[in-house]
Amino acid sequence: MDDVLQALAQTLEQRREADPESSYVAALHCKGLNKILEKVGEEATETILAARDLEVGGSREALVGEVADLWFHCMVMLSHLRVDPGEVTLCLAERFGVSGLEEKAARRQ
């Protein structure tokens, strides 16, 4: 899985400087962080709705597609802010073996 995210990060970095007329990613970067955050918010909402729909007979494929869209736009956000997605996966790895309740309490301190 990490390979897919790393490959996506490399592609996003290449497209960052591409022609906004021919690259969706470049167009998002040109529109700036607020537009990228708007897309992350839209995709988060669509993911929530697809998850709710799945519980009442909706499509599993719809949920998977929405999560993919959300992850993609989160990766664009990280690229825009020049944050390596490896930092996120490292953060997740460091949380293994730590109770979620303990981890959350530690963030408050």
* C-alpha atoms less than 13 angstroms from C-alpha of 64 in its C-beta half-sphere: 3
Full-model pTM: 0.87
The tokens 């953060």 sit on which residue?
91
pLDDT at 97 over 70: yes
27: left (phi > 0), else alpha (psi -120 to 50), else beta? alpha
Task: Report helix, strand or coil for 104.
Answer: helix
Please check whether residue 50 is in contact with residue 63, taking contact to mean a CB–CB distance below 8 angstroms.
yes
Confidence of residue 74 (pLDDT cuts 50, 70, 90): very high
Q: Which domains does the chain have, with CATH numbers?
A: 2-83 (1.10.287.1080)
Extract the tokens encoding 68. Answer: 């993919």
Helix runs in the chain, H state only: 2-16, 24-31, 33-55, 60-80, 85-95, 100-108
Summarize pLDDT for 19-52 with one digit per residue, the tens. 999 999 999 999 999 999 999 999 999 999 999 9
